[in-house]
Amino acid sequence: MESQVRGGTRWKRFAVVMVPSVAATAAIGVALAQGALAASFSVSGQSFKVTTKQLDGTGFSQYGAIDSGYTLDGKKTAHPVAVSAFKSATIKELCQSVVTPNIPVLGNVSLILKAGGGDTPVQAENLYIDVADLSADAEFKNIDIGVAAGDANKGPGIAKGDKANPFGFAQQADSVRLKDVKQTAWATTAGTFKLSGLKMSLSAGVKECY
């Protein structure tokens, strides 16, 4: 499975989406856990929730962008986001959840992914998170606030295909530590994404990370 371009109806960035069979979902998860795939996933027209105990990132930048796509009934969507970009990141106790509503017969179905709960954290390179809402305790080192997005050189740069103004506001830092993270995101991309201790579960009803 190849990493795909950001936007449209394509899968992208950091969320695991329900696929036609649980076996296929498990196969994707195993490959990610072994570091075999670039991660490029999204849930069409849906946000998803993420929690982590701690994220340590190097080469950080953040800029504004617009996420676009389609809802499950084919309507176009557009969402303003703050893109958090990291050259590399380690993530402890990762939880991601998405609720797919109104499935015939079943109703709401929740998918929860957990990883990095043991001694080995989740590892990611060239990580982009399209954030709609975030709460955390944050510590930045050598932060620059108010640089132009196109001039931010500490992070991995503006992602290819992002709808972002290169002259718009951005900030950057040599490194960042985020603790007790709770966030709502629309999409995530990682050049490589290794999920240690991966666990996935599907259940009826609404069950989320927070």
Dump pLDDT digits (tens) for 75-122: 888 889 999 999 999 999 999 998 888 888 888 989 899 999 989 999
Tokens of 49: 């929730």
Q: Can you give the pTM of this predicted structure?
A: 0.81
Q: How far is CA 76 from CA 13, 40, 96, 110, in A?
A: 19, 20, 24, 24
pLDDT category at 164 given cuts 50, 70, 90 is very high
At 13-71, the pLDDT tens digits run 434 443 333 444 445 455 555 554 455 555 556 889 999 999 999 999 999 999 887 77
Q: Which residues on adjacent β-strands are paired with residue 109? A: 100, 204
Helices (H), 10-129: 22-33
Sign of CA dihedral 51, 80, 84, 177: negative
Tokens of 53: 């105990």
Helices (H), the chain: 22-33
User: How many other C-beta atoms can be found within 10 angstroms of the C-beta atom of residue 133?
Assistant: 12
34 φψ region: left (φ > 0), alpha (ψ -120 to 50), beta (else):
alpha
Residue 210, pLDDT score? 95
CA angle 62, 67, 69 (to 5 degrees): 160
Tell me the one-letter amino acid at 25. T
